[in-house]
Amino acid sequence: MKILLTGGAGYIGSHTLKQFLETDNEIVVLDNLSKGSQKSIDDLQKLREFNFVKMDLSDFEGVKRLFKEQKFEAVVHFAASIEVFESMQNPLKYYMNNTVNTANLVQTCLENGTNNFIFSSTAATYGEPKNPVVSETSELKPINPYGRSKLMSEELLRDASMANPSFKHCILRYFNVAGACNTYGIGQRYPKATLLTKVAAECAAGKREKLFIFGDDYDTRDGTCIRDYIHVDDISSAHLAALKYLKDNDSDVFNVGYGHGFSVKEVIEAMKKVSGVDFKVELAPRRAGDPSVLISNADKIRAKTSWRAKYDDLELICKSAYEWEKLC
């Protein structure tokens, strides 16, 4: 199968690319390298050669030409803006990069008979849920433009599939992706990343002076936000499982998480333990758009697909993130 990975030079995209390269599929990667890494592409070319196209998804004519040339059978769509706080400051960037670009990509798929679409969505579509453990049928009420831009993309995918029955999609709602795969020298290279495990690992590796805890007055066990942290390799394998699922099933949506959460303070302590570094931590005001608790109910993906988690261990996740920061 010929597969297009958009955003394949990014954090999750490069890890998923690594797993797809271990299959017999023919892979083409499209990335504008605004947050993705050319080095990740170069390193993964050593595993198996693939075609890399440097292009922005907003280059609609260029994307159309690529589809005409390549005849893709499937798209795995990662390319997006993903920072919650930035989305509050610059919402139109998120609607353009996420929703508009996705709409044009889907339209191009429909025009070229590309009928399998795996979409990288987010737990941010749930917003601040009444029940902190959310299933795929929980209310979708995002509280920031990032979550809303992804939810709009989900809705346009559902509408496209209803209007075009041969076009099937699978939506994967990620929870908090963390860690790295050090075997192939890939990890999160983006220097302005705000993921807690990334920032904590940078502090432990001496790349940041201190870590800020944004609020300690949430209604949680220690006053800090609780999230469902999942290793990036487990997120990546969900995309292979989703594509396999679409062969014999209709469009669907799945949470991808472990089903339990850790607080900000617990992650910090785990990182200090695995690194042996007592890095500096300071309290800061809450950030707009941060729900207090968000944990997945991932029973559905385990029941309906071949996906199984392999790295459900906070210290293992923190250790892989720390080792990556020392390596890069």
For the stretch 6-63, pLDDT in tens is 999 999 999 999 999 999 999 999 999 999 999 999 999 999 999 999 999 999 999 9
3-state helix, strand, coil in the chain (%, to 5): 40, 20, 40
Distance of CA 191 to the CA centre of its chain: 17
Tell me: pLDDT of 190 over 70.
no
Closest CA to 121 of 180, 60, 168, 76: 76
Strands 226-227 and 262-263, how do they pair? Answer: antiparallel
Dihedral angle sign, alpha carbons of residues 13, 78, 112, 61: negative
Closest CA to 108 of 68, 51, 150, 157: 68
- 301, 256 contact by CB (below 8 A): yes
Degrees (nearest 5) of the Cα angle 64, 70, 71? 85
Correct CATH for 2-178+230-256 of 3.90.1150.10, 1.10.443.10, 3.40.50.720, 3.40.50.300: 3.40.50.720
Rounded distance between C-alpha atoms, residue 127 and residue 292, angstroms: 10
E-only strand ranges, 155-228: 168-174, 176-178, 210-214, 226-227
pTM listed for this prediction: 0.94
Give the residue carrying structure tokens 């007055």. 217
pLDDT tens digits along 230-241: 999 999 999 999
State yes or no: is 146 an active-site residue: yes
Q: Average pLDDT, whole number, for the chain?
A: 95
Question: CATH 3.40.50.720 occupies which residues in the chain?
Answer: 2-178+230-256
Tell me: pLDDT of 321 over 70.
yes
- 64, 53 contact by CB (below 8 A): no
Confidence bin at 85 (pLDDT 50/70/90): confident
Question: CATH 3.90.25.10 occupies which residues in the chain?
Answer: 196-227+259-327
Q: Active-site residue among 11, 94, 126, 146? A: 146
pLDDT tens digits along 300-318: 999 999 999 999 999 999 9
Closest CA to 292 of 230, 229, 228, 220: 220
The yes or no reply on domain 196-227+259-327 and CATH 3.90.25.10 is yes
Confidence bin at 193 (pLDDT 50/70/90): confident
